[in-house]
Amino acid sequence: MDQTLAETLVVWRRHLHAHPELSLREASTAAFVCARLAELGVPFVAGVGGHGVVATLARGGSNRSVGLRADMDALPITEITGLPYASTTPGVMHACGHDGHTASLLGAAALLARNPTWTGTVHLVFQPAEEGEGGARSMLAAGLLLRFPMERIFAYHNWPGLAAGTVAVHDGPVMSGGTRLTITLRGHAGHAALPHLTRDPMLAAGHLLVALQSVVSRTLDPLESGVVSICMLEGGVASNQIPAEVCLRGSVRSFTPAVRAQMDAAIARIVDGIAAAFGMQATLDLPPGLSATVNHRAEAHLAAAAVAGAGLALRRDLPPAMTSEDFSWFLHERPGAFLWIGNGAGADLHNPRYDFNDAILPAAATALAAVARAALGEG
């Protein structure tokens, strides 16, 4: 990649970082993407499944087709990096690197547009609402694969702790499936000095919080993987009142449907038991959520060969992570692979000090373009 394009990608990425938008609200981000595509001379369609944008590069001589995807949304986290391009939107930041993913895909578009060696069709999918709001499913429901046919699809996520610019390709599982857990305990409110006249949902919530940690340690085979994390505890309006209701929110993650079924049954059993023990009424909301992100073996090998052929550092030995990705919905519909590209040292994902490493933008754009050319050239 030439220096001018590399510097341009940094400018684009930092603009996106300074102007983050939450899931389902990515109107300005999508408009920015469309403006950059227009500058590159790449035709596009906006408004696909919400704020989704799909750009298309096509050259005659082949009927092969491939998709490349990047996510665009940010998180409801207050940034504390102090960077000159820090978020200007209160309470919202790109704490997962979707700004970098979007800039990388724009870079891949530029590289592919300049490269005369490939033929076929590349669809560049700029996806909204990845952070738990169903953006992939919305684009699929809007006819993505019918309107923009693709034989395979690929994407990547930056990975803190992995050497900057190193590409990791997994055979099989990359990220777990996951869902959001909500438990509501309803008791009987009263004066804090007269607890015997109440049914205390706060006390029950404390026992429930501890008991749920037995789901993985005492339900699953030790060789299986699962996570139950309670991340929010909401209840009470006054320090001298026992509340009527307490809500616990968190996430449940696993790699296989069988393990997920075990975990769901254990959670339901524990919730019912704690509620009965403390005289509570309990409501459990445990929707299906995302399935695991699992690479197709042939596409993983193709991506690894393309990355190595492009001169990028490659790892094939990393274990999967318990994070989740709605790119899994695309992999249900088409074969493909999900890559990790090292972000180097620094804060972890979803941390208020996180920042995407601009130095990896050339590697990320190069990897995406190389994988697309390999997918079009095979056969």
Residue ranges and CATH numbers for the domains of the chain are 3-175+292-377 (3.40.630.10), 177-285 (3.30.70.360)
Tokens of 174: 């990359």
Distance CA 206, CA 218 (A): 19
Q: pTM for the complete prediction? A: 0.93
CA atoms of 302 and 284, how far apart (whole Å): 43
Q: At what angle do helices 98-114 and 27-40 cross, to 10 degrees?
A: 20
Chain position carrying tokens 């046919």: 149
Q: By C-alpha distance, which of 255, 274, 262, 260 is closest to 183?
A: 274
List the chain residues with pLDDT less than 50: 379
Q: Provide the pLDDT for residue 379.
A: 37
pLDDT of residue 148: 98
Residue 259's SS3 state is: helix
Q: How far, in Å, CA of 325 to CA of 293, rounded?
A: 7
What is the predicted pLDDT for the residue at 132?
A: 87
The pLDDT of residue 378 is 57
Cα Rg, the chain, nearest whole Å: 23
Compute the distance between CA of residue 379 and CA of residue 377 in angstroms, rounded to an integer.
6
| pLDDT of res. 364 | 98
What span, in angstroms and rounded, lies between the C-alpha atoms of 357 and 103?
12
